């Protein structure tokens, strides 16, 4: 028996026991310290205590983002929390004061504990207050009223709105600087705005630590246990497995579908165990355990080729099934499904796939004999192919990074890795000019319907329809020279971010930095490749509309006053190409150029 398996099963919500997913229970678990990841913010607060740099911190974010873990990190670093000891709702030490969750404090006392946390630096203490946004705003309003009344001043609705705006703006920007409210200085951090993608593979590495699996190595059922085998498969293929997992969570993050640390741990734990227990392995003889309960299948929410209903309770599994990544045709499909060539896998994975082929080879014979297989056979064949693709995405071996990049581009979009490199590492001027050229081409197609030539340096800003029907006549509202656009990488310099090197990709327009997100980057690439319709993505639609407004505001022509001399420009798309017509009004007479 391995108690660690039961702990893993308790960290996801696919089963009945989810106690391990709660922060309070994690603190008391003997396995917590073995798989947790320490955060920069926790180190910073600890260092401040050691150097007597007393500051007040307020931490907010989504459930499962690791707020309580940061508090625990500080307490354990200062030896203020014994092993397996739980947390109080609030507690004060000689040089540190914390509030575990302001929502757990009675509402009539929330302003009091907030004031105590903000007063801590003046009392030679650091403080850490954790709160959801709602109670935090209410607490600050009550505190502000109290301070104003003590001064004999009124607190108006306008003051309330300004205070809320100031706090919400700070939560949105998530800067690492002090802000001041009613004379109190503090650091307000929205942990939900921090990039947590890399934590997934770091936590997975900790979960796979050999010492946690000692009982499995000595177990007499190890040779038929899919849980222990998953640990072995993932460990021996860790570089490839972590590459797919990291890029999957990165793809979600960049598409505004950020996963919390708790949600990532839940998906990883389910992928390792399938919520099987040691008793299940001992009492049942599973037919194809190393295929059905393989990490590659379970990470996608499948047991073999079927989807258990409880798996979709895990958010990461719902997301990955919604994306349908295992249904995307790959360049390697012919090699895998026609030639049955599994040379791109390690020997143990090859053995699983060969047994799978032998078990279901009648499907292939029926296709050959009958010419047209039945719908049932077609469906089974499609499900098997999806499973093999899952194995390929998770375990396939490569000689260099360019081969990995090519596969990830097939799955996440043809330019996904280009975007990832632009936000992960400082790129050359050549790469940034190439990216600017891509954006310029896409905007030309979007605004005119035509790809620009190598001599085209002007981008017309047009009035046009925003649907799938592209019009042939468009009014020109202004123009922008290609050289006025610049693509830049802005280094993220937040001292509390846990990623060492990260950049924001921006398009610089008239001293304004416009963020280029992955959906927008993908949209530009799609335009160049012939797509003219956007997908149903509110964030993308908002980004496109904002960019249009920014370009027009900076480079649009003033509205003509045709009571006097003026000129109107029209673009006409014809079978012979694109033509620009100028309609001039001189002395109230039309002059066509």
End-to-end CA distance of the chain: 87
Query: CA–CA distance from 538 to each of 58, 533, 544 (Å)?
Result: 31, 13, 10
Average pLDDT over residues 550-567: 74
Confidence of residue 366 (pLDDT cuts 50, 70, 90): very low
Confidence of residue 14 (pLDDT cuts 50, 70, 90): confident
* 364 has pLDDT over 60: no
- Distance CA(251)–CA(257), nearest Å, equals 8
* 577 has pLDDT over 80: no
Note the Cα 5 to chain centre separation in Å.
28
- DSSP β-bridge partners for residue 57: 128, 187
Q: Where is pLDDT greater, at 124 or 401?
A: 124
pLDDT tens figures, 174-225: 889 999 999 999 999 999 999 999 999 999 999 999 999 999 999 989 999 9
Contact between 338 and 381 (Cβ < 8 Å): no
> pLDDT at position 369, please?
44
Contact between 262 and 64 (Cβ < 8 Å): yes
pLDDT tens figures, 119-178: 999 999 999 999 999 999 999 999 999 999 999 999 999 999 999 999 999 999 888 999
> pLDDT at position 1, please?
86
Q: Which of 268, 357, 358, 363 is nearest to 316 (CA)?
A: 268
8-12, 163-167, 172-176, 583-587: least confidently modelled range: 583-587
Tokens for 271, please give them. 């992928």
Angle (nearest 5°) at CA 464 between 475 and 554? 70
Q: Which of 262, 274, 277, 273 is nearest to 24 (CA)?
A: 262
Three-state SS for 172-199 is: HHCCCCCEEECCEEEEEEEHHHCCCCCH
CB under 8 Å to 276, separation ≥6 — which residues?
5, 226, 227, 293
Average pLDDT over residues 42-57: 95
Confidence of residue 368 (pLDDT cuts 50, 70, 90): very low
Percent of the chain with pLDDT over 70: 91
> pLDDT at position 305, please?
92
- Distance CA(581)–CA(393), nearest Å, equals 53
* Per-domain boundaries in the chain: 37-193, 199-412, 417-556
Confidence of residue 86 (pLDDT cuts 50, 70, 90): confident
Note the Cα 202 to chain centre separation in Å.
16
Contact between 271 and 298 (Cβ < 8 Å): yes
pLDDT tens figures, 229-285: 999 999 999 999 999 999 999 999 999 999 999 999 999 999 999 999 999 998 888
Average pLDDT over residues 385-402: 92
**Sole residue written with tokens 């996801």:** 12
> pLDDT at position 168, please?
95
- Distance CA(452)–CA(431), nearest Å, equals 20
51-55, 506-510, 517-521, 539-543: least confidently modelled range: 539-543
* 536 has pLDDT over 70: no
Confidence of residue 370 (pLDDT cuts 50, 70, 90): very low
Count CB neighbours of 412 within 10 A. Answer: 23
Q: How many CA atoms lie within 13 A of 563 on its CB side?
A: 1
Q: Where is pLDDT greater, at 11 or 537?
A: 11
């Amino acid at each position: 028996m391995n108690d660690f398996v039961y702990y893993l099963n308790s960290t996801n919500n696919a089963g009945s026991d989810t106690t391990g997913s709660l922060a309070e229970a994690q603190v008391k678990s003997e396995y917590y310290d073995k798989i947790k990841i320490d955060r920069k913010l926790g180190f910073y607060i600890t260092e401040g205590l050691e150097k007597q740099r007393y500051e007040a911190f307020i931490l907010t974010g989504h459930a499962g983002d690791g707020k309580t873990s940061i508090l625990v990190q500080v307490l354990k670093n200062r030896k203020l929390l014994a092993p397996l000891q739980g947390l109080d709702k609030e507690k004060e030490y000689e040089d540190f004061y914390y509030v575990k969750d302001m929502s757990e404090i009675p509402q009539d006392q929330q302003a009091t504990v907030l004031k105590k946390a903000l007063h801590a630096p003046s009392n030679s203490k650091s403080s850490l207050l954790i709160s959801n946004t709602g109670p935090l705003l209410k607490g600050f309003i009550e505190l502000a009223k109290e301070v104003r009344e003590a001064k004999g001043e009124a607190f108006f609705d306008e003051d309330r709105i300004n205070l809320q705006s100031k706090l919400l703006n700070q939560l949105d920007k998530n800067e690492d600087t002090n802000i001041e409210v009613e004379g109190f200085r503090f650091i307000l951090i929205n942990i939900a705005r921090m990039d947590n993608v890399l934590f997934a593979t770091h936590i997975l590495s900790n979960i796979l630590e050999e010492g946690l699996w000692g009982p499995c190595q000595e177990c007499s059922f190890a040779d038929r246990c899919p849980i222990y085998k998953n640990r072995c498969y993932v460990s021996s293929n860790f570089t490839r497995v972590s590459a797919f997992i990291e890029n999957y969570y990165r793809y979600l993050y960049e598409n505004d579908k950020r996963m919390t640390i708790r949600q990532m741990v839940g998906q990883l734990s389910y992928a390792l165990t399938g919520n099987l227990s040691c008793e299940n392995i001992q009492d049942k003889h599973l037919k194809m355990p190393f295929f059905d309960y393989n990490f590659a299948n379970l990470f996608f929410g499948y047991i073999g080729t079927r989807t258990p209903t409880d798996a979709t309770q895990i958010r990461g599994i719902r997301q990955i099934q919604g994306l349908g990544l295992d249904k995307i045709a790959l360049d390697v499909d012919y090699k895998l499904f026609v030639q049955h060539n599994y040379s791109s896998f390690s020997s143990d994975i090859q053995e699983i796939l060969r047994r799978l082929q032998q078990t279901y080879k009648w499907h292939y014979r029926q296709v050959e004999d009958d010419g047209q297989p039945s719908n049932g056979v077609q469906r089974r064949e499609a499900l098997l192919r999806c499973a093999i693709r899952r194995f390929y995405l998770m375990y396939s071996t490569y000689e260099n990074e360019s081969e990995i990049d090519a596969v990830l581009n097939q799955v996440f979009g043809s330019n996904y890795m280009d975007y990832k490199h632009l936000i992960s590492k400082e790129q050359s001027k050549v790469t940034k000019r190439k990216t600017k050229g891509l954006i310029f081409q896409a905007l030309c197609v979007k605004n005119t319907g035509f790809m620009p030539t190598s001599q085209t340096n002007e981008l017309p800003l047009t009035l046009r329809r925003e649907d799938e029907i592209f019009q042939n006549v468009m009014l020109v509202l202004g123009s922008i020279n290609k050289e006025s656009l610049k693509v830049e990488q802005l280094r993220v310099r937040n001292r509390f971010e846990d990623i060492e090197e990260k950049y924001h990709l921006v398009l610089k327009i008239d001293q304004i930095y416009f963020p280029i997100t992955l959906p927008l980057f993908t949209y530009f690439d799609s335009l160049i490749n012939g797509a003219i319709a956007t997908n149903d993505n509110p964030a993308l639609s908002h980004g496109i509309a904002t960019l249009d407004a920014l370009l027009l505001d900076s480079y649009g022509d003033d509205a003509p006053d045709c009571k006097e001399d003026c000129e109107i420009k029209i673009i006409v798309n014809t079978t012979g190409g694109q033509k620009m017509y100028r309609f001039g009004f001189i002395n109230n007479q039309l002059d066509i150029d």
